[in-house]
Amino acid sequence: MAEFELPTDRLLLRSWQPADRAPFAAMNSDIAVMEYFPALLTVDESDALILRFQAEFAARGFCPWAIEERVTGTFIGFVGLRDVPDNLSFAPGVEVGWRLARPFWGRGYATEAASAALTFGFETVGLTEIVSYTSAINLRSRRVMERLGMSRNPADDFEHPNVATANLLRPHVLYRFRGAERRASS
């Protein structure tokens, strides 16, 4: 499998490595990190997710990549692109998403890495639109989407079909970014 590296000023988006497994599993079992997800992930589920990301990269040329700090080489989470699941009303499409370990919150890392992923999606992959979505109550991720310049039309908001009806996480917001908008803002 080809290695992938996409540097930013402070970060390196890269292919997954065996050493990422333990910190990734720890991140996915952190209650604060997973606050806006229906459940924590086990070690086996985290390992399976890495395998799924690697398969997506092999098939599509993009995936949620591992992120490390360039100065320290420390794994801090993931950011990247992936296909929107077929059971969502706005499929097909490609989404940008992220998850960072708690010690790395509040540093602008999610915005920096997601911006690089958007540029890769538009300029290298040739996408015309990239979306992002989250639970309506996840204000931190919504702020990242807004800092990225993504726009939201409340008519696009939806109830996530994989979240129980009575769960507060079920209402989701959808943000969009079109390649033409990105070029216009450059």
The residue extents of the domains of the chain are 5-185
Collect the ranges in the chain with pLDDT lower than 70.
Answer: 1-2, 180-186
Question: What pLDDT is attached to residue 58?
Answer: 96
> What is the pTM assigned to this prediction?
0.94
Q: Are 129 and 93 in contact (CB under 8 A)?
A: yes
Question: What pLDDT is attached to residue 179?
Answer: 78
Question: What pLDDT is attached to residue 180?
Answer: 65
Half-sphere exposure in the Cβ direction for 131 (13 Å, CA):
20
DSSP secondary-structure letter at 100? E
Q: What distance in Å separates the CA atoms of residue 19 and residue 157, rounded to the nearest whole number?
A: 37
Q: Per DSSP, which regions of the chain are E strands?
A: 5-7, 11-14, 64-69, 75-83, 94-100, 129-135, 151-152, 158-159, 171-178
Comparing CA positions, the residue from 3, 115, 17 lying closest to residue 73 is 17
Question: What pLDDT is attached to residue 185?
Answer: 57
Q: Which residues of 109-144 are buried (b: 16+ CB within 10 A; e: fewer)?
A: bbbbbbbbbbebbbeeeebebbbbbbbbebeebbeb
Class of domain 5-185: alpha beta
